[in-house]
Amino acid sequence: MSTPHTPPRVAVLGGTGFIGRAVAERFEATGSEVLTLARKPSAVPVAGRFVPFDLTASPASELAALLDREHVDVVVNAAGGMWGLDDEQMHVANVVLVDRLVEAIGAMATPARLVHLGTVHEYGLVPVGTSQHEDDVPAPVMAYGRLKLAATERVVDAVGREGLDAVVLRLGNVTGAGQPGHSLLGVMGAKLAAAHAAGTVAELSLQPLTAQRDFVDLDDTVDAVAAASTTRTARTVLNIGTGAAAPARRLVDLLVEVSGVPVEVTEVPAPEGTGPESEWQQLDISAAREQLGWVPQRTLRQSVESLWADCLPG
């Protein structure tokens, strides 16, 4: 176990994913011993010592035993799933997993601190100009948001009823190097990188992209996770974003500008019923500033520059 003068021993669930990989790298860089857990190995090396572990298919007791053997002080849950999963699979990946994780930590000889990564989608959508606060009543509109909310509520309940040492970081739309290929910026980045390599014009088909979201930098997100791993907070749920909504189209335009790749854009009509009035998310991040001493440091341009650099070979 760590002491006040040594870095914590950290386990990262979902450590091969977009956010989990960056979290594991940060803890390793700052001297922590890192146990990286995921269902299967990544094609790209990850930080720490990788152990294949599927909590959705294993009893909580097995994870508790593993965490005890490794003398883990902090567990970061960056696992979960949405893309390519049906509702039942999403329920297992997001809710069942957290149920077993909470049980496992409670069964440890010395329970670890849990930093669970939630999402802005737990809130649902609100009128333009509204900042979503931790005390707001969540009203998620999509299955993923409802399931992530159920997972957050399980953690909050365990804090109150079982004395679990935990915090939930409700993340905005995280942007940076390693952006998932199925995301808007991941798709655009891949198309621009292919055109860059071929020396051709990138052909992009874009909807108006009127949605305005709270886009938060990946490195800023990791800073928040690191702060939450050792800082006890009065609130169990904390928003992590920039505190300002930005149009999705602005990030695509920034990516095109940063890449320097010539583009030919075909404007495609948006689906019926979409528009800024129904596509706004902006987080109130004052609680994270007050309780973690955390504020975002990077600009949208810096996030996009990191994303683009990662898209290029070498």
Please give the pLDDT value at position 119. Answer: 96
Return d(Cα 110, Cα 314) in angstroms, integer: 43
**Among 18, 123, 144, 280, which one carries the catalytic annotation?**
144
Q: What is the pLDDT of residues 272-291, one digit of tens each?
A: 544 444 588 999 999 999 99
Residue 294 pLDDT > 70, yes or no?
A: yes
Residue 85 pLDDT > 90, yes or no?
A: no
Return d(Cα 216, Cα 86) in angstroms, integer: 27
pLDDT greater at residue 207 or residue 274: 207
pTM over 0.75: yes
Active site residue 144: yes
Please give the pLDDT value at position 108. Answer: 98
Return d(Cα 236, Cα 134) in angstroms, integer: 9
Residue 190 pLDDT > 50, yes or no?
A: yes
Instruction: Report, in this order, helix, strand and coil percent for the chain, each rounded to 5.
Output: 40, 20, 40
| Main-chain dihedrals φ then ψ at residue 265, nearest 5 degrees | -100, 130
How do the domains of the chain map onto residue ranges? 10-176+215-242+282-297
Q: Quick one: pLDDT band at residue 13, thresholds 50, 70, 90?
A: very high
Instruction: Tell me the average pLDDT across 22-42.
Output: 95
Exposure string of 102-113, with b = 16+ CB inside 10 Å and e = fewer, is bbbbeebeebbb
Please give the pLDDT value at position 3. Answer: 54
As a whole number, the mean pLDDT across the chain is: 92
Strand partners, 246: 213
Instruction: Look at the block and give the residue holding tokens 């095109």.
Output: 256
Please give the pLDDT value at position 298. Answer: 97
- Under DSSP, the state recorded for 102 is H
Instruction: Tell me the average pLDDT across 6-25.
Output: 96
Please give the pLDDT value at position 2. Answer: 57
Q: What is the pLDDT of residues 60-76, one digit of tens each?
A: 999 999 999 999 999 99
Please give the pLDDT value at position 276. Answer: 45
pLDDT greater at residue 236 or residue 205: 236
Residue 78 pLDDT > 70, yes or no?
A: yes
Torsion of CA 139, 144, 148, 151, to 10 degrees: 110
Find the DSSP H helices in 8-73: 18-29, 60-69
Tell me yes or no: is domain 10-176+215-242+282-297 CATH 3.40.50.720. yes
Q: What is the pLDDT of residues 130-159, one digit of tens each?
A: 999 999 999 998 888 999 999 999 999 999
